[in-house]
Chain A
Amino acid sequence: MPIVVNLDVMMAKRKISAGELAARIGITPANLSILKNNKARAVRFSTLEALCRELQCQPADLLEYLPDE
């Protein structure tokens, strides 16, 4: 999929673990892993909002469009 989730980059920048972030935004670690590994088919605005709030960033910092070769 050409949309890439750069969650791991942002998590590394903010020095936050997957378990802690999952607990803070109210999703399971398994679902956060799906998101982090680009396996998700869709992201809810509420999840994106919570991620931006906890990681203090903009949606564009988390999502990137990479056209297929």
Chain B
Amino acid sequence: MNWSSKNSIRLSRLCVVLFGAAALSILASAPWLVKAFVEFSRAALKNQAEALLLITLYTGGIPAVYILWQLWRLLENIQSGKVFIPRNVQLLRRISWGCAVGAVICLISGFYYLPFFVIAACAAFMALIVRVVKNVFQQALLLQEDADYTI
């Protein structure tokens, strides 16, 4: 592994930490954020919008933090040179399902606030991309095993 790829992984891990910190601070300040959003938003939000937005944020926060934790572990494995291992395939599968859960939460939330449909589509597309990457890792795992057992 050369210098730049090591730094690239470090940068990715730093981004995961930053996203994690952002996610946790958003979750911690969710009541104030939602209040400010409802007050300043020009969208025609219904009476219970504040409570619904809070529910969306908190339920959506669970898969978000879970995905970040799985990403952190994946990067940890990659950094230690363990790339094509069954554990990474499992981590990618979990990340993909995490995105899918996020997509479902946003899809349901889209019924009271339309822009959530866009986020749901993005999360579903992300789930699909990660799933394809997982499939690639699965095939690479077989190739790696073949290479390991070629003497």
**Interface residues, chain A, CB within 8 Å of chain B?**
27, 31-32, 34-35, 39-44, 47
Contact = CB atoms under 8 A, between A and B. Distances in A.
Interface of B: 145-146, 149-151
A27 B149 CA distance: 13
A39 B149 contact: yes
- In this complex, the member of A31, A32, A41 whose beta carbon has the largest number of chain B beta carbons within 10 angstroms is A41
Given A31-B151, A41-B149, 17 more contacts: A27-B151, A32-B151, A34-B149, A34-B151, A35-B151, A40-B149, A40-B150, A40-B151, A41-B145, A42-B149, A42-B150, A42-B151, A43-B150, A43-B151, A44-B150, A44-B151, A47-B151
A64 to B, nearest CB: 17
15 contacts: A27-B151, A31-B151, A34-B151, A35-B151, A40-B149, A40-B150, A40-B151, A41-B145, A41-B146, A41-B149, A42-B149, A42-B150, A43-B150, A43-B151, A44-B150
A24 to B, nearest CB: 15
A12 to B, nearest CB: 20
B52 to A, nearest CB: 56
A56 B151 CA distance: 19
